[in-house]
């Protein structure tokens, strides 16, 4: 194993690696291992003599310890000592302390002041800040350093002063004057008149500069016992002696001075070095360095380095020098430098000690540093030490050097792999590829095919962007792998290898590769590629045959694009098809023409698809535009609805403007009650309604509509084709206005609902005539407070003729019995009305009797509300008889019966016993005389017998006090024990005064009744407008909740068709005539879901002949729901269609 060797100066590291017997690779690095210079030198490869190589290196890289020192440097050193020593004499001690750096304890050379006001020597504080940013005096962070000009100026002024006589006094050369003063000085000195002697010397130095004339000054100061001045005089004398070349005299002068002043000693060390007196130089340097190492480590470091530069084999100095340095890298470098010199001296013990100390200092191991350990190792240990070193190194370059040495010693796979990995880390493609090929060769040599393939593919990924020849080399190695293992993979590999050869202009190798691929696999890609290579090499006949073969392969693969490419290449190479046989020509041309037609067809199809796509895009854009427009219309519709409630004039105009163009709003409820500018506003509204095409329901509430506005609405109704509901029920309109609207109703063909309020009677005839003619209205509400009997008669005639109305509400407070009789006759004849509400305040018994007769004859009404203000017992009895006979009514409301007595009430109650169709009954009695029960007992008996009623409401209103002995409510409550159909029971008591203690019998009776009642789900009680629903008294709650739960289960059973469960619930007391929240009976639900058996059983149970024609909330029978949901089989088996 050929190991590199090192030499270390204090600045650089020199690494020498023998490359051959006569060549050495030289690499120069700084102490941080940064590469500075690298070259190869013709030299004995086995030589380890650094000095032989030194002369062949560039001058800037020659180590400083190999450079000589000049006389000028020695003089400069003495002058430096003088400048350092002068202030100690010229300045008082206290003043001197102020001019001394607190860190170096030396007089300032370049003073700087920090932000805390403390002054330091610049180099000293900068060195301090490398370790900590805190001030060494205040311990606070130092933020800034600036030059202290005041201190600098003070020092310069003191340095200019001469505390002792010297040659700076010289004016001109005059030997006579000089000798005269010198003789005088010697006389004074002899007489011990030292001060006078100094004065004479000073005068003499004005005329002489000979060192010989100055040599008595040091001894004079010694006699005066002024040691500091004596030292300074010695330094001046040495300076003058050196300037005249008297180096030995200068040595004697400095040696004779007994003081050990630092800078005098340093000057003497420099002088020893100049004279080559290394022994004295080292002794004095070492003595000085040891003395100042604690208080001036920087200078001590300098001295140690100078000693070692002069004699690098002074091994004992490396450790103390390393301790004085602050940088870890410098410590390690100095220790290793010492270790190398110890090894060169054969001192292995000290070498090992220094190298181990360096190792302890290192945070990261480096190859350059660790390789020194190999020189300590025995011959047999080198390999294992190097292998261990390679594993602990962290820097890629260091690891690379170590593993290369290991691979050089033993060509193991793992070493080669590590080298490859490191080159990959360093992103060095060419080196990576070179070593990858070496590693692949080793894997192939050991038949490790799978690993070789995996590694080759990884390598190709890494070198994908590098030079083509690197990829080719890897492909060739991979070809070796596939030749012996998994040969089918050669198919893709040869394609890539052939392509790489082509890119590298290696067409012969590409042809050879593609031929191998064609012979083995016969595929289109390799055949086409081979043909292309042949064409480039101008082998046209063979190229055309290959293109033809490739076209056949394309046809077999049904790849028209590839066939056409082959055709284009054949046309280019051989336009006349001279290189094809006749059969080949016929086949080729026929296939080419067929494909041309196929391509044209594809192009046309593509164009059609493109047009269809554009059409779809246009449709989507249109839909998007429609959606945006719809969203805008919705927003406008919301604003319209917001503005429709008591708008200001400006808001009303905005509403009308939006209504003109909005296509979403269908319902508008315009509340303008109290608007004093109605006539002005109506003009805007009319114009908006005239244009709008979507509004179907329009209600206007305002104080009054004048004739002009009514005419405008009439014109609107005549022209409009969308409105179905027009409601003026809360708006006062004149007779003329009513007349013009009536004329519009004759023409209109869309309105189904119309409501109007006219306080006078003249417009009644016109509206009656319109009702007779109109063929679309189904709901009509009219309020004529002052209508006469004649007007009522006109409406009666209209009702006889009308064939469309199903719902009619008449508030005709002004008619009497005559008018009522006319209306009653009309109701006998009318066959369309199903719902009728009459408010006739002046009608008495005669009118009531007439309506009773009509009710007997009418076969269509199902819901009737009669408010007859003056009816008595006779009228009530007549109505009762009618109820016995009527077979269609299911809902009856009698809201105000002020004139009937117990007799009339009892008659109505008895009718309920007989009637078999009513399910909902509401009555309000206003008794005029005291009775303890006042008909309540009669209604109680009716409830005990009736089998159809599900909802019963009784309102008792009286101006007297509630009687304490009243038994009526209690009797009604007890009737609930027996009743098996009621689900909702309401009792309203309104008296001038009610004592709630008097209601205890009622609540107790209700509690007892509910213990047995199985059907009631809603119980409402009100006493003087205090309402209690379902839970008056906590004892009612569980029972009501249970009945409600049973009823819900029954509806679920009907929906699922569970006849057994439904029968169980009906037998437990659930009413057959129960309805849900949208008024559907059990029969409705069974029919809607197609449960024929359930529907048949319900009809069999029912004793009410109208049960099958009951209407839900949407006015639909069970038959209607069955038909809508496709259950026609129910029609044939259970529910027969009634006449509609």
pLDDT 10s digits, 235-278: 999 999 999 999 999 999 998 998 888 888 888 888 888 888 87
**What's the average model confidence in pLDDT over 1094-1111?**
82
% pLDDT > 90, the chain:
16
pLDDT tens string 1024-1038 = 655 555 544 445 555
pLDDT tens string 109-138 = 889 999 888 999 898 888 888 888 889 888
Tokens describing residue 160: 């200019």
For 644-786, CATH number?
3.80.10.10
What integer pLDDT is reported at residue 964 of this predicted model? 63
What integer pLDDT is reported at residue 1034 of this predicted model? 45
What are the two backbone dihedrals, phi and then psi, of residue 667, each rounded to the nearest 5 degrees?
Answer: -125, 130
d(CA 809, CA 865): 9
**What's the average model confidence in pLDDT over 17-43?**
78
What integer pLDDT is reported at residue 362 of this predicted model? 67
Tokens describing residue 202: 């000073």
% pLDDT > 70, the chain:
86
For 486-580, CATH number?
1.25.40.10
**Where exactly are the structural domains of the chain?**
5-68, 486-580, 644-786, 1041-1133
Task: Return the bridge partners of 925, or none.
Answer: 897, 956
DSSP string covering 634-662: HHHHHHHHHHTBS--HHHHHHHHHHHHH-
Cβ neighbours of residue 156 closer than 8 Å, sequence gap 6 or more: none
Q: Is the pTM of this model over 0.75?
A: no
What integer pLDDT is reported at residue 929 of this predicted model? 47
pLDDT tens string 328-384 = 888 888 887 887 777 777 777 777 787 768 777 766 666 666 666 656 554 445 556
What integer pLDDT is reported at residue 204 of this predicted model? 92
Residue 729 in contact with residue 757, Cβ under 8 Å?
yes
Domain 644-786 identical in fold to domain 1041-1133? no
Other CB atoms within a 10 A radius of the CB of residue 1022 amount to 16
Tokens 């009680």 belong to 1021
Residue 184 binned pLDDT confidence (cut-offs 50, 70, 90): very high
| pLDDT above 50 for 1 | no
pLDDT tens string 491-519 = 888 888 888 888 888 888 888 888 888 88
pLDDT tens string 748-793 = 889 999 888 887 767 788 888 888 888 899 999 988 888 888 888 8
Helix/strand/coil for 167: helix
Task: Encode 2-54 in three state secondary structure.
Answer: CCCEEEECCCEEEEEEEEECCEEEEEEEECCCCEEEEEEEECCCCCCCHHHHH
CA end-to-end distance (rounded Å), the chain: 118
| pLDDT above 80 for 407 | no
What integer pLDDT is reported at residue 996 of this predicted model? 57
What integer pLDDT is reported at residue 1077 of this predicted model? 76
pLDDT tens string 940-955 = 888 888 889 999 998 8
What integer pLDDT is reported at residue 637 of this predicted model? 86
Q: Which of these, 56, 51, 67, 70, lies nearest to 11 by C-alpha position?
A: 67
Residue 811 in contact with residue 841, Cβ under 8 Å?
no
Q: Environment class of residue 641 by beta-carbon count within 10 Å: exposed (0-12), middle (13-18) or buried (19+)?
A: middle
Residue 847 in contact with residue 821, Cβ under 8 Å?
yes
Helix/strand/coil for 1026: strand
Give the architecture (CATH level 2) of 1041-1133. Answer: Alpha Horseshoe (1.25)
**What's the average model confidence in pLDDT over 1030-1052?**
64
| pLDDT above 50 for 433 | yes
pLDDT tens string 631-684 = 888 888 888 888 888 888 888 888 888 888 888 888 888 887 765 544 456 777
What integer pLDDT is reported at residue 1038 of this predicted model? 58
């Amino acid at each position: 194993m050929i190991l590199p060797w090192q030499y270390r100066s204090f600045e650089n590291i020199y690494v020498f690696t023998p490359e051959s017997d006569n060549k050495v690779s030289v690499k120069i690095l700084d102490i941080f291992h940064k590469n500075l210079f690298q070259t190869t030198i013709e030299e004995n490869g086995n030589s380890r003599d650094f000095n032989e190589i030194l002369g062949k290196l560039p001058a800037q890289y020659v180590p400083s310890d190999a450079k000589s020192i000049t006389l000028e440097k020695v003089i400069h050193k003495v002058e430096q000592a003088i400048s350092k020593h002068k202030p100690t004499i010229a300045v008082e001690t206290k003043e001197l302390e102020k001019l001394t750096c607190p860190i170096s304890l030396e007089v300032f050379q370049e003073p700087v002041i920090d932000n805390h006001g403390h002054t330091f020597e610049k180099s000293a504080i900068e060195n301090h800040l490398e370790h900590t940013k805190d001030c060494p005096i205040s311990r606070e962070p130092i933020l800034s350093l600036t030059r202290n000009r005041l201190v600098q100026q003070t020092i310069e002024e003191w340095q200019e002063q001469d505390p002792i006589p010297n040659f700076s006094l010289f004016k001109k050369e005059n030997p006579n004057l000089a000798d005269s003063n010198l003789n005088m000085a010697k006389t004074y000195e002899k007489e011990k008149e030292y001060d006078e002697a100094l004065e004479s010397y000073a005068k003499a130095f004005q005329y002489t500069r000979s060192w010989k004339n100055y040599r008595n000054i040091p001894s004079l100061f010694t006699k005066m016992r002024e040691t500091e001045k004596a030292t300074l005089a010695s330094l001046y004398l040495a300076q003058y002696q050196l300037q005249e070349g008297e180096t030995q005299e200068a040595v004697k002068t400095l040696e004779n001075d007994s003081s050990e002043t630092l800078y005098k000693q340093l000057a003497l060390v420099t002088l020893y070095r100049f004279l080559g007196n290394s022994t004295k130089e080292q002794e004095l340097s070492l003595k000085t360095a040891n003395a100042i190492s604690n208080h001036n480590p920087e200078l001590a470091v300098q001295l140690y380095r100078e000693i070692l530069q002069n004699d690098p084999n002074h091994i004992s100095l490396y450790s103390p020098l390393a301790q004085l340095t602050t940088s870890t890298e410098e410590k390690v470098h100095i220790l290793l430098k010492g270790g190398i010199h110890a090894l060169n001296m054969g001192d292995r013990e000290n070498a090992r000690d220094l190298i181990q100390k360096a190792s302890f200092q290192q945070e990261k191991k480096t190859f350059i540093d660790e390789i020194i350990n190999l020189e300590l190792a025995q011959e047999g240990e080198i390999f294992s030490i190097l292998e261990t070193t390679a594993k602990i190194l962290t820097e890629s370059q260091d690891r690379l050097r170590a593993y290369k040495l290991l691979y050089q010693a033993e060509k193991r796979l793992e070493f080669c792999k590590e080298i490859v990995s490191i080159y990959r880390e360093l992103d060095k493609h060419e080196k990576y590829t070179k070593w990858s090929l070496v590693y692949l060769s080793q894997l192939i040599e050991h038949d490790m095919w799978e690993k070789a393939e995996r590694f080759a593919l990884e390598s190709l990924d890494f070198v994908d962007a590098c030079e083509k020849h690197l990829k080719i080399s890897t492909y060739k190695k991979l070809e070796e792998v596939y030749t012996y293992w998994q040969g089918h993979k050669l198919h893709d590999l040869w394609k890539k290898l052939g392509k790489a050869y082509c890119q590298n202009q290696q067409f012969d190798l590409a042809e050879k590769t593609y031929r191998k691929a064609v012979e083995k696999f016969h595929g289109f890609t390799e055949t086409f590629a081979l043909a292309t290579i042949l064409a480039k090499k101008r082998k046209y006949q063979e190229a055309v045959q290959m293109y033809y073969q490739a076209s056949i392969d394309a046809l077999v693969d049904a790849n028209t694009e590839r066939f056409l490419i082959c055709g284009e290449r054949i046309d280019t190479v051989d336009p006349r098809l001279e290189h094809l046989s006749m059969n080949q020509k016929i086949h080729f041309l026929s296939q080419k023409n067929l494909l041309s037609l196929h391509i044209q067809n594809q192009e046309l199809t593509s164009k059609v698809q493109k047009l269809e796509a554009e059409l779809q895009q246009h449709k989507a854009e249109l839909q998007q535009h429609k959606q945006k427009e719809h969203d805008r219309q919705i927003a406008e519709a919301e604003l319209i609805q917001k503005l429709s409630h008591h708008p200001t004039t400006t808001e009303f105009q905005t509403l009308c403007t939006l209504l003109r163009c909005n296509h979403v709003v269908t319902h508008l409820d315009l509340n303008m009650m109290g608007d004093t500018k109605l006539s002005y506003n109506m003009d805007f509204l009319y114009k908006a309604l005239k244009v709008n095409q979507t509004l179907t329901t329009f209600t206007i509430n305002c104080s009054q509509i004048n004739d002009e506005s009514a005419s405008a609405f009439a014109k609107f109704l005549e022209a409009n084709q969308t409105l179905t509901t027009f409601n003026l029920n809360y708006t006062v309109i004149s007779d003329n206005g009513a007349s013009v609207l009536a004329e519009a109703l004759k023409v209109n063909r869309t309105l189904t609902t119309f409501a109007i309020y006219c306080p006078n009677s003249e417009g009644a005839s016109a509206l009656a005539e319109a009702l007779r003619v109109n063929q679309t209205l189904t709901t009509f509400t009219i309020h004529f407070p002052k209508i006469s009997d004649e007007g009522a008669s006109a409406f009666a005639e209209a009702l006889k003729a009308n064939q469309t109305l199903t719902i009619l509400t008449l508030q005709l407070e002004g008619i009497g019995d005559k008018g009522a009789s006319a209306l009653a006759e009309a109701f006998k004849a009318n066959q369309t009305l199903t719902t009728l509400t009459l408010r006739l305040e002046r009608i008495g018994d005669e009118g009531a009797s007439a309506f009773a007769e009509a009710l007997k004859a009418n076969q269509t009404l199902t819901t009737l509300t009669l408010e007859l203000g003056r009816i008595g017992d006779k009228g009530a009895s007549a109505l009762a008889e009618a109820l016995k006979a009527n077979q269609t009514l299911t809902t009856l409301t009698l809201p105000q019966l002020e004139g009937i007595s117990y007799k009339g009430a009892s008659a109505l109650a008895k009718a309920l016993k007989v009637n078999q169709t009513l399910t909902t009954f509401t009555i309000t009695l206003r008794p005029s005389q005291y009775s303890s029960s006042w008909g309540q007992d009669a209604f109680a008996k009716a409830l005990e017998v009736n089998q159809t009623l599900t909802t019963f409401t009784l309102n008792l209103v009286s101006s007297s006090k509630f009687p304490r002995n009243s038994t009526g409510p209690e009797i009604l409550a007890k009737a609930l024990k027996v009743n098996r159909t009621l689900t909702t029971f309401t009792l309203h008591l309104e008296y001038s005064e009610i004592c709630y203690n008097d209601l205890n019998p009622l609540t107790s009776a209700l509690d007892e009744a509910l213990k047995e009642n199985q059907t009631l789900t809603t119980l409402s009680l009100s006493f003087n407008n205090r309402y209690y629903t379902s839970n008056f008294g906590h004892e009612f709650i569980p029972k009501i909740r249970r009945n409600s739960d049973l009823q819900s289960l029954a509806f679920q059973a009907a929906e699922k068709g569970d006849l057994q469960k439904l029968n169980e619930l009906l037998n437990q007391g659930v009413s057959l005539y129960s309805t849900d929240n949208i008024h559907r009976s059990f029969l409705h639900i069974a029919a809607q879901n197609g449960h024929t058996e359930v529907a048949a059983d319900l009809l069999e149970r029912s004793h009410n002949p109208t049960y099958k024609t009951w209407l839900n909330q949407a006015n639909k029978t069970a038959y209607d729901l069955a038909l809508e949901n496709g259950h026609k089989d129910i029609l044939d088996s259970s529910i027969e269609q009634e006449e509609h």
